[in-house]
Amino acid sequence: AQKITQTQPGMFVQEKEAVTLDCTYDTSDQSYGLFWYKQPSSGEMIFLIYQGSYDEQNATEGRYSLNFQKARKSANLVISASQLGDSAMYFCAMRERGFQKLVFGTGTRLLVSP
Amino acid sequence: DAMVIQNPRYQVTQFGKPVTLSCSQTLNHNVMYWYQQKSSQAPKLLFHYYDKDFNNEADTPDNFQSRRPNTSFCFLDIRSPGLGDAAMYLCATSTLTSGPEETQYFGPGTRLLVL
């Protein structure tokens, strides 16, 4: 069975600083996809970044990067130069290959202060 | 812009009164999903369609049904809403592939309130 663990219920960061949101996963599959989504208070789930299990390079998308450590089964999200608009809930998720299901972690609430 | 649209954004219904939530997409994705998200929880998959093939999660109550009349539209029907069904309902779409293209894209969600 899959499991996604996000151990930080809440994180605080000052504007313009970098922040790392932790995510560990557990799967017996060799082939899987990892995702990070942002959910502001409006409720929409916004896709941020994707990492495939066979990707050798860490994924990057603008200010977002994914620190993928396959042996440790971790997929931490790094947000550089935090902005006030980054304040939101962040979910880590994984998809089993051969299944359509996304399994989500419990989320981390990020608050960016001026 | 290609997108996933959900209507209405807010829905108030009465206990036991059937309600239908709608989702449409312009991404031409062959997979559509319905998730339920209760307050301060992660989204939970209710079911999904791969083209016209319906796939129900084992723990989805019978009270929840879905229809997909064509590629673009998918509906969530709650036959007799209970107070415990108050939640955000999220629709998502994806292609059936692996790699970055398997990303699920979500609509803005419908907040359901049951009185």
- At B62-110, the pLDDT tens digits run 999 999 999 999 999 999 999 999 999 999 999 876 666 688 999 999 9
Provide the residue type at A108 as one letter.
T
Take residue A85 and report the two structure tokens written for it. Answer: 């608009």
Is any Cβ of chain A less than 8 angstroms from the Cβ of B91?
A: no
Take residue B38 and report the two structure tokens written for it. Answer: 């209760």
- CB interface of A with B, residues 35-64, below 8 Å: 35, 37, 42-47, 50, 52
Backbone angles phi, psi at A28, to 5 degrees: -95, -5
Residues 6+ apart with CB under 8 A from A6: A21, A22, A23, A91, A92, A105, A106, A107, A108
Nearest Cα to Cα of residue B74 among B90, B96, B95, B57: B90
Is any Cβ of chain A less than 8 angstroms from the Cβ of B41?
A: yes
Q: Under a CB-based contact definition with an 8 Å cutoff, are residues A3 and A105 in contact?
A: no
Is any Cβ of chain B less than 8 angstroms from the Cβ of A97?
A: yes
Q: Cβ separation of A104 and B43 shorter than 8 Å?
A: yes
- Percentage above 70 pLDDT, chain B: 94
Taking 50 as the pLDDT cut, the residues of chain A under it are none
Residues 6+ apart with CB under 8 A from A22: A6, A7, A8, A74, A76, A108
CA distance A89 to A86: 9
For residue B102, the model assigns a pLDDT of: 81
DSSP code of residue B7? E
- Shortest Cα distance from A46 to chain B (angstroms)? 7
Take residue B56 and report the two structure tokens written for it. Answer: 């129900």
Is any Cβ of chain A less than 8 angstroms from the Cβ of B39?
A: no
For residue B101, the model assigns a pLDDT of: 67
Q: Under a CB-based contact definition with an 8 Å cutoff, are residues B15 and B81 in contact?
A: yes
Contacts with B57 from chain A: Cβ below 8 Å: 101
Q: Cβ separation of A37 and B106 shorter than 8 Å?
A: yes
Residue B23 in this model has a pLDDT that exceeds 70: yes
For residue B98, the model assigns a pLDDT of: 66
